[in-house]
Amino acid sequence: MITDAPRIVTRHLGTPDSHTMGSYLAAGGYTALRKALAMPPAQVAAEVDKASLLGRGGAGFPAGRKWSMLARDPVRYLVINGDESEPATFKDHLLVYGDPHQVIEGTVIAAYAIQATQAFIFLRGEFALGLERLQQALNDAYRHGAVGRDIFGSGFSIDVVVHPGAGAYICGEETALLESLEGKRGFPRIKPPYFPAAIGLYGKPTIVNNVETVSNLPWIVENGGDAFSALGEGSSTGTRLFALSGHVRRPGNYELEMAKTTFRDLIYAPVLGGGIRAGHTIKAFIPGGVSAPWFGPDQLDMPLSQDEVGKAGSMLGSGSVVVFDDGDCVVRAAWRITRFFARESCGQCTPCREGSGWLEKIMRRIEEGAGREEDLDLLMDVCDNIAPGVSWPPQQTTICVLGPSIPSSIAAAIRMFRDEMLLHIKEGACPYD
């Protein structure tokens, strides 16, 4: 079902100049910030807590709860995660290119609520035009008095810095991001003790929030946390961006009320995905980014709900859905995803570094028709060495969860498409070539 829930993060999009200050102010931009600054910081945080806004970066942790865990220290930082590199995820891209002022307004609201001393927006380096637009928006916001000293005469001051990344998927992981922001290689830190809310940027308490997460804040401040949590169901409140790609007629970003719409609606509704290629059927789909275990056609009627998808053994993750139809080779897809992880492993942990390379090689030889039947057991054995039990959520033997995410697509391919894997081996070639 497609509900008549309001559009929240995409409400200003659609005009060609939606990224400019003029357009943002005409749509009532920065009034939420004025309202927030007239409230005590704790009350702003309380509204966000009431909204039960789940983080939109992938882990889905409630933003209000995260804020309340911030250690007390006179110096504390806010870092906005705009690294967006999970394959098939392209929603923060939309928000930064289309509505950079909303990102900035959300950032300043968050900074006020947690009483941060400085804020950084870490934006993926490959977003060259996005960096320009965000920096231009920030320049305009300073001039407008919405960032910097004594914002709108409230007595609250904060500096915001736009920081460009430089091409490394792992820097989306929050502790790797902080290392990168300190000018180092993006090596994830060991947790504990390096939970950012306790020991973050330069060793100081730090909140890391995703771009989409903070883009919700202006609306929440304007309309109240209860109005937000009235949307959706269970712990999945509000609306959320779903990035749909693969073999659908209308790939794109769709903002939908959480838990009300199903994967089938998303993929088939004429105003959303518009269905798949004529004469084909759906073979499988990825429900939440390439780290997530795959679903089959029998799970199409599942609602887009964090709880439901979690209970079914996968995750809504970064909100990106990839559709495979019966003309697509899933072995090739699983190989390509594995190749991504092998390229992007930071190399600190042996299971991840070595395992990803081995899995990629074995998957490649199966896809190319040079595999052996024992390879399926070998794949599962390597997966088991990376994430013991190959269950979901995975067991972690590594510093970060990139490693334990590697088996997801391979285990799915073997579990759901064993025959197809074997066909590659028996025929000595990819049946789809």
Ligand X SMILES: Cc1cc2nc3c(=O)[nH]c(=O)nc-3n(C[C@H](O)[C@H](O)[C@H](O)COP(=O)(O)O)c2cc1C
Shortest CB 399 distance to ligand SF4, Å: 4
Q: What is the spatial distance between Cα 291 and Cα 286, in angstroms, rounded to a whole number? A: 9
Query: What letter represents residue 141's amino acid?
Result: A
State which residue, 329 or 400, has the beta carbon closest to ligand SF4: 400
Sheet holding 118-123, edge to edge: 160-164, 118-123, 77-82, 206-210
Q: What is the spatial distance between Cα 127 and Cα 219, in angstroms, rounded to a whole number? A: 25
Shortest CB 208 distance to ligand X, Å: 5
Q: Verify binding: residue 352, ligand SF4, rule CB under 6 A.
A: yes
3-state secondary structure of 200: coil
Binding mask 357-396 for ligand SF4 (x = CB under 6 A): ----------------------------------------
Give how many residues touch ligand X by CB under 6 A.
24
Q: Which stretch binds ligand X (CB under 6 A): 24-32, 84-92, 228-236, 425-433?
A: 84-92
Q: Verify binding: residue 58, ligand X, rule CB under 6 A.
A: yes
State which residue, 94 or 411, has the beta carbon closest to ligand SF4: 411
DSSP secondary structure code for residue 294 in this structure: P
Q: What is the spatial distance between Cα 319 and Cα 95, in angstroms, rounded to a whole number? A: 14
Taking CB under 6 A as the criterion, the residue among 2, 27, 34, 61 binding ligand X is: 61
Contact 235, 306 (CB under 8 A): yes
Handedness of CA 211, 214, 220, 225 (dihedral sign): positive
Q: What is the spatial distance between Cα 238 and Cα 151, in angstroms, rounded to a whole number? A: 29
| Interface with ligand X in residues 211-230 (CB under 6 A) | 213
Binding mask 401-420 for ligand X (x = CB under 6 A): xx------------------
Q: Which is it for strands 282-286 and 320-325: parallel, antiparallel or unpaired? A: antiparallel
Indicate which of other proteins, ligand SF4, ligand X, none lies near residue 365 (CB less than 5 to 8 Å, by partner kind).
none
Indicate which of ligand X, other proteins, ligand SF4, none lies near residue 184 (CB less than 5 to 8 Å, by partner kind).
other proteins
Q: Which is it for strands 77-82 and 118-123: parallel, antiparallel or unpaired? A: parallel
Residues with Cβ < 8 Å from 230, sequence gap 6 or more? none
Q: What is the spatial distance between Cα 364 and Cα 375, in angstroms, rounded to a whole number? A: 11
Q: Which stretch binds ligand SF4 (CB under 6 A): 16-24, 77-85, 339-347, 409-417?
A: 339-347
Q: Which helix (H) or strand (E) holds 95?
A: helix 91-98
State which residue, 83 or 265, has the beta carbon closest to other proteins: 83
| Interface with ligand X in residues 37-56 (CB under 6 A) | 55-56
Cα-Cα-Cα-Cα torsion 153, 112, 199, 393, nearest 10 degrees, comes to -160
Handedness of CA 167, 170, 174, 178 (dihedral sign): negative
Indicate which of other proteins, ligand X, ligand FES, none lies near residue 261 (CB less than 5 to 8 Å, by partner kind).
none
| Interface with ligand SF4 in residues 278-317 (CB under 6 A) | none
Quote the tokens at residue 359: 């899995």
Handedness of CA 56, 61, 64, 67 (dihedral sign): negative
Shortest CB 219 distance to ligand SF4, Å: 34
**Residue 82 backbone phi and psi in degrees, to 5:** -120, 35
State which residue, 81 or 408, has the beta carbon closest to ligand X: 81
Indicate which of ligand FES, other proteins, ligand SF4, none lies near residue 372 (CB less than 5 to 8 Å, by partner kind).
none
Q: Which residues lie near ligand FES (CB under 6 A)?
A: 87-88
Alpha helices in 275-406 (DSSP H): 306-311, 330-344, 350-367, 375-386, 402-405
Q: Name the residue whose CB lies closest to ligand FES.
A: 87
Q: What is the spatial distance between Cα 365 and Cα 371, in angstroms, rounded to a whole number? A: 5
Q: How crowded is residue 149: how many other Cβ atoms within 10 Å of its Cβ? A: 11
| Interface with ligand X in residues 106-165 (CB under 6 A) | none
Shortest CB 115 distance to other proteins, Å: 5
Taking CB under 6 A as the criterion, the residue among 102, 107, 209, 216 binding ligand X is: 209
Shortest CB 169 distance to ligand FES, Å: 12
Shortest CB 412 distance to ligand FES, Å: 18
Q: Which is it for strands 77-82 and 160-164: parallel, antiparallel or unpaired? A: unpaired
Q: What is the spatial distance between Cα 193 and Cα 133, in angstroms, rounded to a whole number? A: 36
Taking CB under 6 A as the criterion, the residue among 213, 398, 408, 409 binding ligand SF4 is: 398
Binding mask 366-405 for ligand X (x = CB under 6 A): ----------------------------------xxx---
Residues that bind ligand SF4 (CB under 6 A): 170, 188, 345-349, 352-353, 398-400, 402-403
Residues that bind ligand X (CB under 6 A): 55-59, 61, 63, 66, 81, 83-86, 170, 172-174, 208-210, 213, 400-402
